[in-house]
Amino acid sequence: MDPTQTTLIDLRNAIASKQVSAEEATRAYLDRIDTHNDALNAFRDRMTDYALKRARAVDTGEVTGRLAGVPIAIKDCMCHTEGTTACSSKMLEHYRSPFTATAVQRLEDEGAVILGKTNMDEFAMGSSTENSAFGVSRNPWDLDRVPGGSSGGTTSAMAADLAAAALGSDTGGSIRQPAAITGLVGLKPTYGRISRWGLVAFASSLDQIGPVTHTLADAALLTQIMCGKDPLDSTSADVPVESDLHDVDGEIDLAPGGGKLRIGIASQYLDESANHPAVTAAFNEALAVYKQQGAEVVEVDLPHTEYGIPCYYIVATAEASSNLARYDGVHYGHRTGEPTPNGANAIQHLMSQSRAEGFGSEVKRRIMLGTYALSSGYYDAYYNRALKTRRLIARDFDTAFEQCDAILCPTTTGPAFKIGDKADDPLAMYMNDIYTVTTNLAGIAGVSVPGGFAEEDGKRLPVGVQLIGKAFDEKRLLRIARRYERETELWKHRPAL
């Protein structure tokens, strides 16, 4: 078998049954990285020697577990003692973490082989991976197009089969949006479901680690392993993890008194003038699949959706301004090589020059926006009002889920756009997350699954559909999504490289 042309679970089973060794599987992925990464720029840092050492330990029986020998990639904002954790920023280019993120450690405890760090928008700020200090990543379906962001290196690697599975982080759609436009499954779990210890912070009340895979079963297995209370993360939820979370083909627990699966649709997500025809077609096809399976379609109202983008870009930038204040060239991060003048302004000069050199333009933009929103005289007008709006958005979802089991909607407004098309228009770039930011603001779960293809410039470009579920209801959400995946099997399509 070719270990790079399969699913995580199938590869895990093949390694366990000795059809292929863990070292053979790891070398196969490392060879694909060597062959394709120059064109894709999906990996920023490779852990070749470390990965092979881990694989050999699996083959000798020293390392065991539910993921024994499975090669996995992790986003560059997740700490690991091997290699560097740069957040794809010059500010942290040489940073070596003394610890490993809890989510990553839990995968390694089950035998996973970490291949390396994937490229991303600097400090996870972006929707295209054009903001990386180490160059743009490219979409394997069309190398002239973006793979989404901020987890674009992650989705580029997965779509090109450079790893059996990968981890991304989602602050406003950074797993789901790139997964949609590269033909993958991307899950943003409930806030607090997976520990954020060792995830370099962008916006602490929004960030969440999640899996990027080919199938929902693969995503469910990784989620089950990573979930659970972590004493190192005060925001991780002490909520029991279902022993059958990985079983996406199991029965769906329906609301008391309800005999049918109820799929909610909201008019706020269905503006045909804003959505690419392929996105509209994918949504309609998904809705038809659920109707054919006997689901009841329920119209729900999410009236504050229109405030999602402005609310998000106040809350997220305010938190980013606070979180990134530590990178000043003194406590953490890049220090300028310019001579520092003597006198009272010496430390101010050192810090300002270090930050000017270390941060890219988008990070600087968001720091300034957040600092302004938190400044004296504007706090109530912007930040405090955004927090009130956030509560209204969460209440909209609470009300909607009284009427339905999951909400079906697009993941993005269209397929991948060409590199450079939106680089000079920040607002147009921010609107890429219009269908994803509200789930982060509400702290609930969302999953994007392959929905079909658009045809542009002679290329087939993936689009996705999204299902949104209640907080801590990942098991039911994944089982509902599986009904669609099982019918369409769109995950089997791969780009030609």
Which of the residues are catalytic? 75, 150, 174
CB 63 within 8 A of CB 72: no
For residue 351, which of 366, 335, 375, 337 has the smallest C-alpha distance?
A: 335
Q: Which of 171, 198, 249, 187 is nearest to 223 (CA)?
A: 187
**Amino acid, res. 232:** L
d(CA 191, CA 251): 25
